[in-house]
Amino acid sequence: MLESWIARLEQFAPLSGEDKLELGRLLSEPRRVHAGEDIVREGEAPTHIHIIVSGIACCYKVLPDGGRQIIALHFPSHACDIHHGILSRVDHAIGALRPTQVAYIPHENMLDLLERSPRIAKALWRSTLNDNAILREWLVNIGRREGYGRVAHILYEVYLRLKAVGQADNHSFEFPLTQTELADALGLTPVHVSRVISRLRAESLIVLRRRAVTIIDPEGLKAVAQFSPGYLQMADQGPEGNKSNTLRG
């Protein structure tokens, strides 16, 4: 399972055999984290980078009034905090949304490896650029779409991202977020998310049952989401979405 992270990195830039061996050597055995538990707490000085092996994690901030905003979702084979190596304290937390396994690498080893292998540095750099592009699109999603399109958009994005790591078949995938968590990610309330999902169901765009999503009408869903897949840097067709990414060779 650890290899899937390395495989994903290779989609961003070619790695040598030695690169892959080194990464494999540095990666710890995965640690189990309970649902709701933090992997990195807000304000602390992180010492490792983390890679999601299984489960789902998220990056979030909590406001003084208790409101929570989820800033990013991290799926298996994602590194969630590459940028932490250089910060003395982080302005956000990383938490597990479900029971999750995370592998990790100490910052000093990672920084050392980055200096020795420009290929790994390039792949990681591009993978963080990809994360940033998603973050920008989330801002657009929350800022300029109303609830109906917002939920449609995140569902289609998650579908493409899970498909890219082999966790979506056809147009079905596991999506084990509660509606409260979805609301925290979308800047809505849980009640409103529930209503919007009812409407997406009523319009025969999706089926959502037991935390599993099936997209019945992909074109319809993309239309209400005003979805343009360019930001994901991966194709929106076929079972191997990542083949034609547009990052420079």
- The listed partner (DNA, a second copy, none) that binds 7, CB under 5 to 8 Å by sort, is none
Which of 74, 70, 34 has its CA nearest to residue 50?
A: 74
Beta strands across the sheet bearing 31-33: 31-33, 100-106, 48-54
Q: Least separation, in Å, of the C-beta of 68 and DNA?
A: 12
When asked if residue 14 is in the footprint of a second copy (CB under 8 A), the reply is: no
Options 26, 71, 208, 235; binder of a second copy; rule CB under 8 A? 71
Contact partner, 54, from DNA, a second copy, none, Cβ < 5-8 Å per class: none
Interaction of residue 192 with DNA, rule CB under 7 A:
yes
C-alpha 153/C-alpha 148 separation (Å) is 9
Residue 31 site contact among a second copy, DNA, none (CB < 5 to 8 Å, cut-off depends on kind)? none
Residue 165 has which token pair?
């790591």
Helices 218-225, 147-164: crossing angle, 10 deg rounding: 130
Count of residues engaged in binding DNA, rule: CB under 7 A: 20
- Both tokens of 14, joined, read 């070619």
Q: Choose one: 13-21, 48-56, 187-195, 225-233; the region binding DNA (CB under 7 A).
A: 187-195
| Residues 6+ positions from 79 with CB-CB distance below 8 Å | 5, 49, 50, 51, 52, 124, 127
Contact between 148 and a second copy (CB under 8 A)? no
**Bridge partners of residue 173, in order along the sequence:** 168, 213
Residue (36 or 67) nearer to a second copy, CB: 67
Q: Which one of DNA, a second copy, none interacts with residue 140, CB within 5 to 8 A by kind?
A: a second copy
Tell whether residue 191 is a contact of a second copy (CB under 8 A): no
Candidates 1, 21, 35, 129; binder of a second copy (CB under 8 A) is 129
- Taking CB under 7 A as the rule, does residue 216 contact DNA? no
Q: Which of 25, 31, 116, 136 binds a second copy (CB under 8 A)?
A: 136
| Residues of this chain, 79-98, that bind a second copy according to CB under 8 A | 83, 86-89, 91-92
Phi-psi region of 204 (alpha: psi -120 to 50; beta: other; left: phi over 0): left
As a whole number of Å, the CA-based R_g of the chain is: 18
The partner in contact with residue 195, picked from DNA, a second copy, none with C-beta cut-offs of 5 to 8 angstroms by kind, is DNA
Q: How far apart are CA 125 and CA 248, in angstroms?
A: 12
For residue 50, give the nearest of 7, 19, 95, 80 by alpha carbon: 80
Helix (H, G, I), strand (E, B) or coil at 114: helix
188 binds DNA (CB under 7 A): yes
Is 146 near DNA (CB under 7 A)? yes
Q: Which of 14, 24, 36, 43 binds a second copy (CB under 8 A)?
A: 43
